[in-house]
């Protein structure tokens, strides 16, 4: 009997998976996003056994140059692709430096139950032992699996399936760079064999109250990183430069110095929405100042994404506090 393959669209946005250098030993100084995704696929004829693929090069950037405007454009295009009847799932290739932010951004805004999988690489396409082609193969295998539906946006790197909300880049150059800390992976994928072991714990995609149609611009939200003796006046500088919100990467469970407290109070009086995350890698935060919103267990960089989107949708403190717990 003839098997019907799923129709999967690959949307490429650059990164190391499309990185090229003159030397096969150049693992660090290559040009990210130099190749088109067709060049990655050329190394992978077996991928066509998994799915009927369509490809689109949305952009070719190094993800350190990504920004909310680019993420908004990518999200709009992804929503368009996912709404087509002839597309069963979407795979997005991206740079790993800000992949966790893009993944969470999509997780909050895409309105679909179809699988959406992000992948990239730690070694450029031109290097010995590049992980890009096998990561792409595994990402397509995960996207082709009906079990991936309704799990929110997934991130596939180094044989591991992670939730967009929890995934974080936790190593600067090694292949096992991505993890989810104490939350653990959602599953594994080895040479295209997929095994899920968990569901994401928070609401995502169809279940969030954040809609792209409400969003034209994202208000600026900055991160202030606590360190002993840090100059608290920099918080006021952020506000003076136009920040609509500030995420404090606090100590421990969300603490900060008296000097920072004084500046935070001034920001709150000016109507700037302030949230507190933790610079620790696990656990949750509490609010040590009235009006300061605890980000639960979101990292500072993901708390910033949620705060930006909530502010863009015109949400107020009461909703944003709820979103930090639910999303």
Residues serving a catalytic function are: 16
Instruction: Indicate which single residue of 63, 107, 130, 135 sits in contact with ligand DAS (rule: CB under 6 A).
Output: 63
Provide the minimum distance between the beta carbon of 42 and ligand DAS in the complex, in angstroms, as a whole number: 19
Instruction: Indicate which single residue of 10, 11, 15, 109 sits in contact with ligand DAS (rule: CB under 6 A).
Output: 15
Token pair for 32 = 């990210």
Strand partners, 10: 55, 91
Instruction: Indicate which single residue of 6, 68, 95, 300 sits in contact with ligand DAS (rule: CB under 6 A).
Output: 95
Provide the minimum distance between the beta carbon of 232 and ligand DAS in the complex, in angstroms, as a whole number: 32
Site for ligand DAS contains 97 (CB under 6 A): yes
Site for ligand DAS contains 120 (CB under 6 A): yes
Using alpha carbons only, what angle is made at residue 279 by residues 162 and 98, rounded to the nearest 5 degrees?
A: 45
Minimum CB distance to ligand DAS smaller for 65 or for 253: 65
Instruction: Indicate which single residue of 9, 16, 138, 145 sits in contact with ligand DAS (rule: CB under 6 A).
Output: 16
Using alpha carbons only, what angle is made at residue 279 by residues 231 and 205, rounded to the nearest 5 degrees?
A: 120
Provide the minimum distance between the beta carbon of 101 and ligand DAS in the complex, in angstroms, as a whole number: 11
Spatial distance between the Cα atoms of 123 and 25, rounded to a whole number of angstroms:
10
Stated length of the chain = 327
Q: Which stretch binds ligand DAS (CB under 6 A): 47-55, 90-98, 151-159, 272-280?
A: 90-98
Site for ligand DAS contains 75 (CB under 6 A): no
Spatial distance between the Cα atoms of 242 and 228, rounded to a whole number of angstroms:
26
Question: Given the structure tokens 């490429």, which residue do they identify?
Answer: 12
Q: Which stretch binds ligand DAS (CB under 6 A): 21-29, 61-69, 196-204, 264-272?
A: 61-69
Strand residues in the chain grouped as ranges (E): 7-14, 52-61, 89-93, 116-119, 154-157, 160-163, 168-169, 178-179, 187-190, 193-196, 221-225, 245-250, 273-278, 293-294
Q: Which residues bind ligand DAS (CB under 6 A)?
A: 15-16, 32, 62-64, 95-97, 120
């Amino acid at each position: 009997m003839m098997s019907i393959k799923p129709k999967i669209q690959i949307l490429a946005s650059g990164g190391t998976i499309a990185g090229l250098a003159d030397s096969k030993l150049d693992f660090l100084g290559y040009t990210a996003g130099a190749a088109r995704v067709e060049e990655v696929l050329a190394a992978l004829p077996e991928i066509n056994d998994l799915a009927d693929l369509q490809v689109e090069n949305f952009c070719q950037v190094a993800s350190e140059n990504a920004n909310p405007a680019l993420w908004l454009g990518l999200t709009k295009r992804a929503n368009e692709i996912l709404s087509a009847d002839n597309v069963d799932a979407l795979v997005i290739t991206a740079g790993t430096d800000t992949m966790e932010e893009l993944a969470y951004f999509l997780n909050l805004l895409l309105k679909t139950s179809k699988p959406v999988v992000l992948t990239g690489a730690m070694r450029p396409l031109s290097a010995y032992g590049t992980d890009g082609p096998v990561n792409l193969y595994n990402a397509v295998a995960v996207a082709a699996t009906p079990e991936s539906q309704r799990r929110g946006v997934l991130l596939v790197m180094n044989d591991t399936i992670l939730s967009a909300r929890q995934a974080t880049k936790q190593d600067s150059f090694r292949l096992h760079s991505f993890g989810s800390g104490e939350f653990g992976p959602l599953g594994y994928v080895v040479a295209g064999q997929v095994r899920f072991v968990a569901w994401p714990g928070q609401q995502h995609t169809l279940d969030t109250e954040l809609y792209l149609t409400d969003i034209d611009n994202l208000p600026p939200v900055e991160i202030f990183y606590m360190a002993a003796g840090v100059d608290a006046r920099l918080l006021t500088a952020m506000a003076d430069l136009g920040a609509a919100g500030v995420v404090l990467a606090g100590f421990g469970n969300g603490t900060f110095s008296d000097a920072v407290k004084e500046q935070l109070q001034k920001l709150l009086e000016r109507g700037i929405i302030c949230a507190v995350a933790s610079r620790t890698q696990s656990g949750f935060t509490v609010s040590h100042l009235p009006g300061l919103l605890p980000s639960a267990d979101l990292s500072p960089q993901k708390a910033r994404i949620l705060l930006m989107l909530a502010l863009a949708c015109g949400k107020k403190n009461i909703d944003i506090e709820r979103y930090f717990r639910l999303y």
